[in-house]
Amino acid sequence: MAIDGRTSRWDEHRATRRAELVSHALRAIRVQGPHIGMDDIASRAGTSKTVLYRHFGDREGLHAAVVESVHQYIRDGVLAALESTEPADVGVMTHTLASTYLNLVERDPHIYRFVMNGPGLGASSTGGRVPIVIASAIADLLESRLPTVSQRRARTWGYGLVGFIQAAADEWMDDPTPAPRADVVEDICAAFTPAFSHAPTTTTATHPTPAGA
């Protein structure tokens, strides 16, 4: 079945317009903080709340779009930083990941809090969730760099590491007298580097063989 060219162009226009509105929302959050309202975001974008609702449905929809954009930005920054690390040195990779993540958080605290606080609505809120796009990328990286580690273990490590860093970043951001970023990075590495260094690189079961087997 032939694709209607007008439909395709309209879809492209909507995608472009959504991206523009997300960019406006990010700029508004940077200036006015994480509790900014839809009216202020619309004003910053030079449009109306009706247009925002048309493209995102409601505040929760806009929040989800901002979360997706921010997580993708962090993922790209993290992966770019990890390109220079040695493939088998998971300790260095852990340090680079933690340092890059916390650096990006420190540079944009209002946006980070907007993402993590959620839209303040129902159970489908994306706030506080482990950033899947980042965790999945780290899991894939671990799997490719450590070929003797199973896919299951690589995913467990990837999601666990990113979740740990996120939780540490949340506590650090909320601390009224936060420690220097470098100290937090070292604390994270102190937990994970020894574990990765001594972890077995196979997933052979370690349960005792039943008697008579």
pLDDT in tens, 98-129: 998 899 889 999 998 888 877 654 434 455 56
| Helix, coil or strand: residue 202 | coil
Question: Tokens representing 37?
Answer: 């309202």
Which pLDDT tens digit goes with each residue over 49-80?
A: 999 999 999 889 999 999 899 888 888 888 88
pLDDT of residue 199: 53
Q: How many CA atoms lie within 13 A of 154 on its CB side?
A: 16
Question: Mean of the per-residue pLDDT values for the chain?
Answer: 82
| pLDDT tens-digit readout, 155-199 | 998 999 999 999 999 999 989 999 999 999 999 999 887 777 655
Residue 31 neighbours by CB distance under 10 Å: 11
Which helix (DSSP H) or strand (DSSP E) does residue 77 occupy? helix 59-82
Length of the chain: 213
Angstrom distance (rounded) from CA 209 to CA 196: 27
Domain range summary for the chain, segments of one domain joined by +: 67-198
Pairwise CA distance, residues 18 & 40, whole Å = 17
d(CA 82, CA 94): 9
May I ask the CATH architecture of the domain 67-198? Orthogonal Bundle (1.10)
